[in-house]
Each structure stands twice: as structure tokens, then as C-alpha cells.
Amino acid sequence: MRKAFNGTFIVAGGYDREDGNKAIAENRADLVAFGRWFLSNPDLPKRYELDAPLNKYNRETFYTSDPVLGYTDYPFLEDSS
């Protein structure tokens, strides 16, 4: 797909930190989407920067309206400064 499209190319679906970095480094993508990982890790860029452990996401809370769980209650990394 990358060879057929000349615009900004975004990949998504099953990427972790290592896979995302590799996709960018190998010019297979310009951007990588981390949807599920962003839901469970509101500080995902910081976690990736520090290579910190990730919160596990809970698929059962995806797209639920009542009760609202999972979108706003995942913990941030502890501030170690």
C-alpha cells in the first residue's frame, strides 16, 4: 500500500512500541496509531519514551455508555521527579 499512496500514510492495528518504531524506520509508515494502548495509557508517549510498562486494556469496557469505565480511570505513571 505504501508504494501506491504518496500522501501521509498511517498504520494501525496490533502495533506495539517496537513494531511502530520499526514501521517508521523502514519507511513503511509516516505515523502509527495506538488506539487501544492510548485508551489504557493516557500517558502513552511518556511510557514509550521511558520504555515503561503499559497498563493492560480491558476490551469489555470498550464502547460502553453505562457504566462509563475504562476511558478515564486508567492510572498514569507515578511521577518520579
Q: What does each of the 81 residues of the chain score in pLDDT, given as a tens digit?
A: 778 888 999 999 999 999 999 999 999 999 999 988 988 998 999 999 999 999 999 888 887 777 777 777 888 887 544
> Residue 81 has what pLDDT?
46
CA dihedral sign, ordered 46, 49, 54, 60: positive
Residues 46 and 74 occupy one common structural domain? yes
Q: CA–CA separation, 26 vs 3, rounded Å?
A: 13
Domain that includes residue 60, residue range: 38-80
pLDDT of residue 10: 95
Query: What Cα–Cα distance (Å) separates residue 65 from each residue in 37, 39, 47, 69?
Result: 20, 15, 28, 8
pLDDT at residue 2, as a whole number: 78
Q: 57, 36 in Cβ contact below 8 A? A: yes
> Is residue 5 domain-shared with residue 27, that is, in the same domain?
yes
State the total domains in the chain. Answer: 2
pLDDT at residue 79, as a whole number: 58
Task: Please tell me the pTM assigned to this model.
Answer: 0.76
Residues 2 and 17 in one domain: yes
